[in-house]
Chain A
């Protein structure tokens, strides 16, 4: 379970609360699928405690199938945290852009 996996919590993908009924979950999923099919911009990303994440049809379908199984849903509920309550994600530590120049390195260096 990584930060990425937590950000892909089905409740976050579908933007429903952990207490949502099965009907509410299905409705939210179908609505998102329709919006994605129409290319609605707001449906293409969702908010997580770690920042915005991309959303596509397969992510929505996976989230729906996970939440249909009570056992998997119970597990997802344990990891779910409301992204609106957690506020903006922390900014990363500032990287030192002149680092390699300080040792006389003006060539490419990636990775």
Chain B
């Protein structure tokens, strides 16, 4: 009986392996049944996965009771459940090369399409567990051919695990900024192109990296996207408490989340920090005069990054707006001009000071989280600061998108560079969406067409189907439904899946 179950599991794995081979094979339409094996709804593989694991553990228990286990049987189990062996044994053990060759030989289902990328991803996770074999030469060997086109010229073998591996290598070599950009793309990739383990790892890295730098407002932003995990909920709760937000969970609630989240030994220190942090009192303008506005500006600037709220910024802008409109500033400048016996133009100095205040507000905007206050109720000075922030970001985005190849541009054969550029575009767009969600629609009107053409070029000229799909999927999220290109984007996204 046990033998039959074992054979059945191996047959199913072989079929899944073959189906994936077929589905990732370029230039030939895979059979429909093969596609249905590897392309299912997100819930289905998860439910099946849990079911299979449940059966496996029950079965292992029964065998343990029967004392019928032997070496051949253990090997068969390893062959049938390589991902389980990797996750529970090889990665925690951290033995150099073991996870790499195990992945290459046994092809775990999670990273099936990515022979080398998946192996490097698992190998790096194993090495990092104990910090072994991380010399520059060792990393350089691993970095070879991780994000490249395959022998048929397509990018079907470069998916989330390969990109996560590349991001890990970037972080290890000190390029944390590029690592963040790549991880950010990985965590939001479509499940058909991204193993859940890679997406979860990317999200965990980004959250931990932001917390490591003390950027808890960034933790809250990051926790709004990517796979739904307990770690993400726990860290968002801890960050909210550290920032003294009203929506922060209670002590017991946070404690429970910590108990349910992974990595409890190390995350206990975060729990302690969050529980010890006293609630902060909000700043309020007691009067609308120059001295109050100046004091409030200083107090907000002296706060640690991320602690100031959007409503406090708006309050500050209202104070300054009143000062500028009341003529108090001009009176002050006139008095000083007379005292200094100068001859400067008061209006010019006043306008310059106003620009500097707006610039100060612009610098503070990205460190605050949106609170849903409608823009119609915001003072003009604050809107100027928001416009400045938006203009700077969109300017950078447009500049970047202008350089994206499109139309008849020849293929470059540099997949890594394409992914890096795209990751940069996604990062800048996310910065605007996170900071000013009510203005997210402007991204499409600003870079929509150039990005759509770039996606088409990637698909047609470069045969980078996975990357093209990410481009179209991103556009689908920001394009207004009434846009004439919406149907085209939808069809392209479907085609490139």
Stretch at the interface among B67-75, B353-361, B457-465, B473-481: B353-361
A93 at the interface (CB under 8 A from B): yes
Instruction: Find A50's partner among B176, B265, B269, B302 (CB 8 Å cutoff).
Output: B302
Stretch at the interface among B107-115, B188-196, B303-311, B398-406: B303-311
In this complex, what residue of A is CB-closest to B176? A111
Instruction: Find A96's partner among B131, B270, B356, B360 (CB 8 Å cutoff).
Output: B270
Count: A-B pairs, CB below 8 Å: 145
Known: A50-B301, A74-B336, A111-B177. A104 touches B214 (CB 8 A): no
Interface residues of A in 41-89 (CB under 8 A from B): 49-50, 70-71, 73-75, 77-79, 81, 86, 89
Mostly, the B contact residues are helix
In this complex, what residue of A is CB-closest to B216? A93
Known: A98-B269, A106-B130, A109-B172. A1 touches B356 (CB 8 A): yes
B211 touches A99 (CB 8 A): yes
Q: How far is the CA of A73 from the CA of B398 in the complex (A)?
A: 39
B303 touches A90 (CB 8 A): yes
Interface residues of B in 260-286 (CB under 8 A from A): 262-263, 265-267, 269-270, 273, 277
A39 contacts across to B, CB distance below 8 A: none
Interface residues of B in 196-218 (CB under 8 A from A): 201, 204-205, 208-209, 211-214, 216
A105 contacts across to B, CB distance below 8 A: 128, 205, 208
Mostly, the A contact residues are loop
A93 touches B214 (CB 8 A): yes
Q: How far is the CA of A1 from the CA of B362 in the complex (A)?
A: 10
**18 CB-based A-B contacts, threshold 8 Å:** A1-B356, A1-B363, A49-B302, A74-B344, A74-B349, A75-B349, A75-B356, A78-B332, A90-B303, A93-B306, A96-B212, A96-B270, A98-B267, A100-B205, A104-B128, A107-B134, A109-B212, A110-B174
6 further contact pairs, Cβ within 8 A, besides A70-B342, A93-B242, A99-B208 = A98-B266, A98-B270, A103-B205, A104-B91, A105-B208, A107-B172
Listed in ascending order, the chain B residues whose CB lies under 8 Å from chain A are 91-92, 125, 127-131, 134, 171-172, 174-177, 201, 204-205, 208-209, 211-214, 216, 242-243, 262-263, 265-267, 269-270, 273, 277, 294-295, 298, 301-307, 329, 332-333, 336-337, 340-344, 349, 352-353, 356-357, 359-360, 363
Listed in ascending order, the chain A residues whose CB lies under 8 Å from chain B are 1-3, 6, 49-50, 70-71, 73-75, 77-79, 81, 86, 89-111
